[in-house]
Chain A
Amino acid sequence: MAAVLTHKDFAAERATWCPGCGDFAVLRALQDACARLGLAPHRIVLVSGIGCSGKIASYMGTYGFHTHHGRTLPVATGIKLANRDLTVIAAAGDGDAYGIGLNHLIHAIRRDVDVTYVIMDNGVYGNTKGQTSPTTAPGVTTPSSPLGAVDEPVHPLRLALAAGATYLAQGSSGDPAQLTRLVEQGVAHRGFALINVISPCPTYDRIRTYQWWRERLTNVDEDPAHDPGDSRRAWEIVASRDTEVVGLLYRAPRRALDERLPGFAAAPLAGETLRPDLDRVRRILDEEYAV
Chain B
Amino acid sequence: MRDIAWLIGGKTGEGVDSAGEIFARAAARAGAHVHTFRLFPPIIKGGPTSYEVRAADAPVHARADALDCVIALDDETARRHGPALRPGGLLLIDDGRAGPAGTAGDGAAANGAIACPVPFTALARDLGGPIMKNIVALGVSARLLGVDAAAMRETVRRRFDDKSARVQEQNTAAVDAGWRHAGEHLAGHTRAAGLPRTRAAGRWLLSGNDAIALGALAAGCRLYASYPITPASDVLEWMAAHLPAVGGAAIQTEDEIAALGAVIGAGYAGVRAMTATSGPGLSLMTETMGLAGMAEIPAVIVAAQRPGPSAGMPTKHEQSDLLHMVYASHGEFPRIVLTPGSLEECFADTALAFNLAERFQCPVIVAVDQDLVLARSTAARLPLDEVRIDRGERLTDADAVRLGETYERYALTASGISPRAVPGQPGTRFLSSGDAHDHRGVIDVEDPEVRRAMVDKRLRKTREVWRHAAGTVVEGEGDVLVISLGSPCGPIREAAARLRGGGRPVRFLQIRCLWPFPAHEIGPEVARARRVVVVEHNATGQVASLVRSHVGGHEKVTGLRRYDGLPFRPADIEAGLWPPS
Contact = CB atoms under 8 A, between A and B. Distances in A.
Contacts of A272: 222, 247
A4 interface: no
A63 interface: yes
B269 A79 contact: yes
B258 interface: yes
B188 interface: no
B246 interface: yes
Interface in B266-308: 266-273, 287-288, 290-291, 295
Interface stretch (B169-177, B199-207, B461-469, B554-562): B199-207
Interface string B425-465: 11111111111000000110000000000000000000000
B270 to A, nearest CB: 4
A263 B245 contact: yes
Contact of B265 (A82, A111, A281, A289): A82
A280 interface: yes
B250 to A, nearest CB: 9
B223 interface: yes
B263 A78 contact: yes
Nearest to A265: B247
Contacts of A291: 25, 28-29, 203-205, 378
A274 B295 CA distance: 24
B258 A104 contact: yes
A82 B261 contact: no
Interface residues of B, number: 74
A78 B249 CA distance: 11
B222 A269 contact: yes
Given A42-B424, A264-B247, A282-B384, A274 B429 contact: no
Contacts of B243: 263
A249 to B, nearest CB: 25
Interface string A219-234: 0000000000000000
A82 B295 contact: no
Contacts of A58: 431, 433, 442-443
Nearest to A65: B432
Contact of B423 (A77, A79, A280): A79
B285 to A, nearest CB: 11
Nearest to A43: B424
Contacts of A81: 223, 249, 251, 262, 265-266, 271
Contacts of B272: 274
Given A66-B434, A83-B269, A103 B255 contact: yes
Contact of B244 (A55, A106, A263): A263
Contacts of B214: 285
Contacts of A74: 253, 257-262, 265
Contact of B425 (A42, A103, A284, A285): A42
Contacts of A263: 243-245, 247, 249
A160 interface: no
A262 interface: yes
26 contacts: A42-B423, A63-B423, A64-B431, A65-B265, A65-B268, A65-B295, A65-B433, A78-B225, A78-B261, A79-B269, A80-B265, A81-B262, A82-B268, A82-B271, A83-B271, A83-B423, A107-B258, A263-B243, A264-B244, A268-B424, A269-B266, A270-B269, A270-B422, A274-B222, A289-B205, A289-B210
Interface of A: 13, 40-43, 45, 47, 55, 57-58, 61-68, 71, 73-83, 85-86, 103-104, 106-107, 111, 261-265, 268-270, 272, 274-278, 280-282, 284-285, 288-291
Interface of B: 25, 28-29, 202-206, 210, 214, 217-220, 222-223, 225, 242-249, 251, 253-255, 257-273, 287-288, 290-291, 295, 378, 381-382, 384-385, 389, 391, 422-435, 442-443
- Which are the 8 A-B pairs with shortest beta-carbon distances? A78-B265, A274-B220, A74-B261, A263-B244, A265-B247, A82-B269, A78-B262, A63-B423
